[in-house]
Amino acid sequence: MTALGRPQFLLQFSEVLVKWRRFFNFLAAQQGKSQMTVLEQKLELEQLKLFLVVPLFSFFFFIFSRLTSRTIDLLDWNSLINDTTKISNLLMVPNLQTGHLEPLLNIFTEEEERQMKRMLQRVDILAKHAVENGVRLMVDAEQTYFQPAISRLTLEMQRKFNREKPVIFNTYQCYLKEAYDNVTLDVELSRREGWYFGAKLVRGAYMYQERARAKEIGYEDPINPDYEATNRMYHKCLEYVLEEIEHSRKANVMVATHNEDTVKFTLDKMNEMGLSPTENKVYFGQLLGMCDQISFPLGQAGFPVYKYVPYGPVNEVIPYLSRRAQENRGFMKGSQRERSLLWKELKRRLLAGQIIYKPVY
């Protein structure tokens, strides 16, 4: 998503969404709601388009949640891509001190407004192109200070394009402490609104950067404390989505991992639930050139398997791959085992006479 427009917009929009979530938590605490009611109200609140400036927020929230079932999208898609709509007027945040709504993006110029709309239009064009060509569009995850906006925009695309089948997939980083809450919230919203849920589950690739930023700025570390906790979170999120597939058949999941234990966990759960690989509800994905000992057997068993191919100018791709190698040092252990397997297979073929050397003229 950061390639489609100004990352600064995603950063500021993420701040809007984070502030609104904090504001909801404030209201929920004031009203003393139970956890389930809080979840339900969060779903409603996150869909509200802010169209009034009301000093008594708590009273407004109480009355609105009881007297009407109508919801208005925070990001009404058609309005956002309408040339007459000022995005900075849509994105409002509450000031808890004054009790009034304030525009966070009021410093944006007319050109910046046009840049934001062009970004949303590009997203819309990509999604339509995916639908027309019968392919899936998976939106990658970024750092936590971008991710709320990316997830929100992806959710809007899912609402629009996932009506008949899962075309748009959001990416959930399971090394985040809030990963399970994010997955369950989006699944619940898809149930209520009747669209197909699509998820790509990854462990995450910005651990060191996220922790350094949290320490520098002084907020809580968003990353799970250790690798084992991340594994538990991954399996918890995965099991939840698999159960949704089992119950409704209106969800798809990409298990994007190089971890053999996670692949085995997925296969065991699918077997328990009676999920067949031929249903094409569960996919597996690995980087090209890595973990072929996982990819090939899965493909031969009939599972949909995809190999992730980073491409582009060398000066851009090499730093990307270097960062991935650094952020995912656990891959190195896997590569050692992979080399061992390749050497074992080479010796087997040599001894079996399967490798034939032909002269080159």
What are the tens digits of pLDDT across the range 220-248?
A: 999 999 999 999 999 999 999 999 999 99
Residue 186 and residue 79 share a domain: no
Provide the percentage of residues in the chain whose pLDDT is more than 90.
Answer: 35
3-state secondary structure of 184: helix
pLDDT surpasses 90 at 328: no
Residue 332: predicted pLDDT: 52
Within a domain: residue 359? no
Q: How many structural domains are present in the chain?
A: 3
Residue 178 and residue 273 share a domain: yes
Q: Residue range 140-165: average pLDDT?
A: 90
Domain span at residue 85? 1-135
Provide the percentage of residues in the chain whose pLDDT is more than 70.
Answer: 66
Residue 231: predicted pLDDT: 94
Within a domain: residue 262? yes
- Give the separation between CA 31 and CA 17, rounded to whole angstroms: 21
Residue 192 and residue 144 share a domain: yes
Residue 174: predicted pLDDT: 96
Residue 242: predicted pLDDT: 97
Position with higher pLDDT, 20 vs 94: 20
Structure tokens at 38: 């809080």
Q: For 262-295, write each residue's pLDDT tens digit.
A: 999 999 999 999 999 999 999 999 888 777 888 9
Q: Give the CA distances from residue 295 to residues 22, 272, 286, 311, 327, in Å, rounded to whole numbers and listed in that order.
A: 42, 22, 7, 20, 22
Within a domain: residue 361? no
Query: What's the whole-model pTM score?
Result: 0.74
Q: Model confidence at 83, in pLDDT bands (50, 70, 90)?
A: very low
pLDDT surpasses 90 at 149: no
- Give the separation between CA 168 and CA 187, rounded to whole angstroms: 14
Q: Residue range 347-352: average pLDDT?
A: 76
Look at residues 265, 293, 205 and name the one whose alpha carbon lies nearest to residue 282: 265
Position with higher pLDDT, 86 vs 277: 277
Phi and psi at 170, nearest 5°, equal -100, 150
Residue 151 and residue 93 share a domain: no
